[in-house]
Structure 1
Amino acid sequence: MEVQGNAAIQENQLVAVRKKPLPQKLKKIWLNYDLYLLLLPTLLYFLVFHYLPMYGVQIAFKNFNPVQGITNSPWIGFDQFERFFNSYQLSIVLKNTIGLAVFEMAMFPIPIIMALLLNQLMSQKFKKVVQTITYAPHFISVVVMVGMLYLFLSPRSGIINQLLVILGFEPIFFFGIPEWFKSLFVFSGVWQNMGWGMIIYLAALSGISPDLHEAAIMDGASKIKRILHIDIPGILPTVIIMLILSFGSLLNIGFEKVYLMQNSLNVSSSEIIQTHVYKTGLLGAQYGYAAAVGLFNSVINFILLIVINQSAKKAGQGSLW
């Protein structure tokens, strides 16, 4: 009886210990309630605009009828996915989407290189001028950016074609040639976002101890060697995190810019998953089919994110989780 009594007491003590941290956590939250209130709008934003809409993903597996609603529409399984995989547009859409994504990913090192070069400038005034010039295009809207491209590359009055004519070449209708679409899209994006992308890497470079550079200079190391052996290893964890995030949205190419640059002449190289979803889903009112294609795109991005994160984790270079 005594043994059973002692066991019961010990069990009650364990239960009390397990329950004890919860009030402490609540007390800690209450003491810092103002910080949690600041976090609340962000949590509500993701809840309302990112998590709650996931309820509608089920229309990818239904023959969705707006009159019947999501709940009452009949289930059809993977028919929408089979329709997409058997579509004649599948090869074109995937080829263009993957081609643009890989081309954009190839430009990933440019902000890193620019940040490393800018970090080596001795003149602070010149450094600020370069930063301002490179940051400014980021604040240009997509519509204005595409309008500028049309003006600069116009076959009649565009400054680029005027220079070509002066040099003795024939003017080029850039937006009418499918082969030019990817280059125009990617390089205009690099010009617009390069300066903004440099901010993170410049912040990482500022966290590197100046003592390392002073010691390297005392040992006779050149700027190139200091970049290779101090700066790059110092920002490598940040580079890895940014690379993982980039792979996580690899196939999420900007719809607005592609759609604005698209026309009947270059559609063979500009039709991507996002424009295909827009045309079939909103313009064609095929909501279930568009949801299936969008879900396929999201799943591929999720798989890429998991694979790249685990690869970086195994390599010991840092990871998101």
Structure 2
Amino acid sequence: MVTTAPPLAGSQKLRVRSSSRGWTAAKRSFRRHWQLYLLIAVPIVWFAVFRYWPMSNAIIAFKDYNVVQGVWGSDWAGLEYFQRAFANPRFWTLVSNTFILSALVLIFSFPVPIVLAIALNEVRSTFFRNTVQMVTYAPYFISTVVVVSMTIVFLSPRMGLANQFLNIFGVQSIDFLSNPDLFRPIYVISDIWQTTGYAAVIYLAALAGIDPSLHEAARIDGATRVQKILHVDIPGILPTAMVILVLGVGNVMAIGFEKAFLLQNPLNLATSEILPTYTYKVGLLNADFSQAAAIGLFNAVINLVLLLVVNVVAKRTTGSGLW
């Protein structure tokens, strides 16, 4: 006995047709733009291999990891390492240090590139504008190790330029890097110096995309330069600024490890010890991989929550966000 499949309903036919049309359009697009797909395949593979695949190993935080047994063969430990971290009084000091340092970097580093970009956009001399842009952009290409070395030499108690300048006015030399209270200002100032020029380029690109007719209309209406900045330039770069702000808040707990670790010394650990440096010491130096993974996973979850919350707030208040 031969059975026949029941006929497809109207909605099913529409879905089949739309699916076939989608595949046909995708194949046509791939044949036409295969060079672009090949170009974008490289970063996609990089992110898949070095960003997304390692996420599966975060399960170490819930296991009593043993190198011989491997990630999946190690015994389950549940929330033991999270409880151990939360019960450590020092852990919450590290969370506070990380949050305060990241918040200071975000608060002081976020507006400076905007001010620099607007100022450069108002400069009429092309030579001066290009010179300032090059001078402020160049530090971004200096490695963190070199920046820290320059900072240490500049702030040296004996030969540092900062103390030599203070000595001119009769002020006694200060050991800046040994003072826990001065670690955060030093970190923030060095970060502003290194990243302001790069961030200003993004805002300059956003300023270049503003419709020139808006400036012409403001000029016809008799607006001053300050009024044009307030009512044309700033609203024009606001979407870009909000995206950068959301990304910055989303990385509040993921502040860079290298600079903090290299600026550390036994005298300033009270403020310089943050979660990334503590995770490095626990995981690699003490070989407590499960404890380090638990702290790192906790850090990542906090970043994710902050990113989602700030994106929702930015979307509702300004209409701009990541999605």
Q: TM-score, normalised by structure 1?
A: 0.95
CA RMSD of aligned residues (A): 1.8
Change (3 A) 1:212 1:170: same
Q: Secondary structure at the match of 1:155?
A: coil
Task: Tell me the CA shift for residue 27 of structure 1.
Answer: 3.2
State the distance in 1 between where 2:9 and 2:260 align.
Answer: 69
Task: Tell me the CA shift for residue 259 of structure 1.
Answer: 0.5
Task: Tell me the CA shift for residue 217 of structure 1.
Answer: 1.9
Change (3 A) 1:31 1:115: same
Which residue, out of 242, 245, 251, partners 2:244? 242
User: Which residue matches 1:51?
Assistant: 52
Change (3 A) 1:229 1:57: same
State the distance in 1 between where 2:299 and 2:99 align.
Answer: 11
Q: Secondary structure at the match of 2:89?
A: coil
User: Which residue matches 2:302?
Assistant: 300
State the distance in 1 between where 2:131 and 2:119 align.
Answer: 14
User: Which residue matches 1:70?
Assistant: 71
The amino acid across from 2:32 in the alignment is L
Q: Secondary structure at the match of 2:254?
A: coil
Unaligned residue ranges in structure 2 (runs of 5+): none
The amino acid across from 2:266 in the alignment is S
State the distance in 1 between where 2:147 and 2:208 align.
Answer: 32
Task: Tell me the CA shift for residue 178 of structure 1.
Answer: 0.5
Q: Secondary structure at the match of 1:319?
A: coil
More displaced stretch, 114-123 vs 7-16: 7-16
Is the counterpart of residue 285 in structure 1 residue 275 in structure 2? no
Change (3 A) 1:33 1:153: same
Which residue, out of 216, 224, 227, partners 2:226? 224
Q: Secondary structure at the match of 2:76?
A: coil
State the distance in 2 between where 1:19 and 1:215 align.
Answer: 48
The amino acid across from 1:154 in the alignment is S
More displaced stretch, 65-74 vs 14-23: 14-23
State the distance in 1 between where 2:267 and 2:69 align.
Answer: 40
Percentage of pairs with the same residue = 44
Q: Alignment length, in residue pairs? A: 318
More displaced stretch, 216-225 vs 167-176: 216-225
User: Which residue matches 2:265?
Assistant: 263
Q: Secondary structure at the match of 2:195?
A: helix
State the distance in 1 between where 2:309 and 2:9 align.
Answer: 49
State the distance in 2 between where 1:251 and 1:149 align.
Answer: 24
User: Which residue matches 1:61?
Assistant: 62
State the distance in 2 between where 1:169 and 1:6 align.
Answer: 93
Task: Tell me the CA shift for residue 218 of structure 1.
Answer: 2.3
Unaligned residue ranges in structure 1 (runs of 5+): none
State the distance in 2 between where 1:152 and 1:13 align.
Answer: 73
State the distance in 1 between where 2:250 and 2:306 align.
Answer: 6
User: Which residue matches 2:23?
Assistant: 23
State the distance in 2 between where 1:35 and 1:300 align.
Answer: 36
Is the counterpart of residue 168 in structure 1 residue 170 in structure 2? yes
Change (3 A) 1:16 1:139: closer
Change (3 A) 1:158 1:75: same
Change (3 A) 1:215 1:60: same
State the distance in 2 between where 1:222 and 1:12 align.
Answer: 62
The amino acid across from 2:303 in the alignment is N
Task: Tell me the CA shift for residue 55 of structure 1.
Answer: 1.5
Q: Secondary structure at the match of 1:171?
A: coil
Which residue, out of 116, 122, 125, partners 1:114? 116
Q: Secondary structure at the match of 2:232?
A: helix
Matches within 5 A, 1:72-221: 72-107=73-108, 108-221=110-223
Runs of 4+ aligned structure 1 residues displaced above 3 Å come to 5-16
Q: Secondary structure at the match of 2:152?
A: helix
State the distance in 2 between where 1:49 and 1:72 align.
Answer: 22
Task: Tell me the CA shift for residue 19 of structure 1.
Answer: 3.8
The amino acid across from 1:248 in the alignment is G
The amino acid across from 2:186 in the alignment is L
State the distance in 2 between where 1:11 and 1:143 align.
Answer: 62
State the distance in 2 between where 1:283 and 1:136 align.
Answer: 35
State the distance in 1 between where 2:221 and 2:21 align.
Answer: 54
State the distance in 2 between where 1:117 and 1:206 align.
Answer: 13
The amino acid across from 1:306 in the alignment is L
State the distance in 2 between where 1:204 and 1:304 align.
Answer: 26
